[in-house]
Amino acid sequence: MKSKQDLRHHFRQRRHQQSSLRSAICRQVLNMVQSSPIRTGHLGLYWPLNCEVDLRSIRLAIPNEIALPFADGCGGLHYRHWTDTPLEADGCGIPAPNVGPPLDADQLSLLLVPALAIDHCGIRLGYGGGYYDRLRADPTWASVPAWVVLPSACISTEHLPRDAWDVPFTGWITEHGSGQPR
């Protein structure tokens, strides 16, 4: 098995090669969110980086309020309500809401999370900071449906490395629609 570093490099290249699919993936995400029986609550999005699918436009097409993650730069991650107030760089330099209290897990109806890869067991490969892993290791956050957003070329046919704290994701959304772990 390749190291996580080698896998990150491999899947980062794959994602970059599939960048033309980002709008198709965004449409699939919107279709899934609009057809899901999601409960009331915030929809957790992310601020797009490095060829990630930009989901910010769907906030205009759904009734849910939106939340963005705020990383403290030391491993902690929480979500805050996203309004039209200016965003500030969080502890990782990513634009995020810097005002208002952190939201509790029961205030979010769904999380959409970027990834470099995911395997058929629902294990996600991210950038290596472990922010989403630590958040979702908390059982209250693990209970929030969480979907990975990525091109289908980044679904690994082999098991990705898994640490003891990794919690499988609910599923993934690609340009072909959604899929769930086996």
Buried b (16+ CB within 10 A) or exposed e, 3-14: eeeebbebbbeb
Residue 136's pLDDT band (boundaries 50, 70, 90)? Answer: very high
Whole-structure pTM value: 0.95
Q: CA angle, 108 as apex, 102 and 112 as ends, to 5°?
A: 105
Q: How far apart are CA 77 and CA 120, in angstroms?
A: 25
Domain architecture of the chain: domains with CATH: 4-82+90-176 (3.40.50.10420)
Mean pLDDT taken over the chain: 94
Q: What one-character DSSP code corresponds to residue 53? A: -
Summarize pLDDT for 108-128 with one digit per residue, the tens: 999 999 999 999 999 999 999
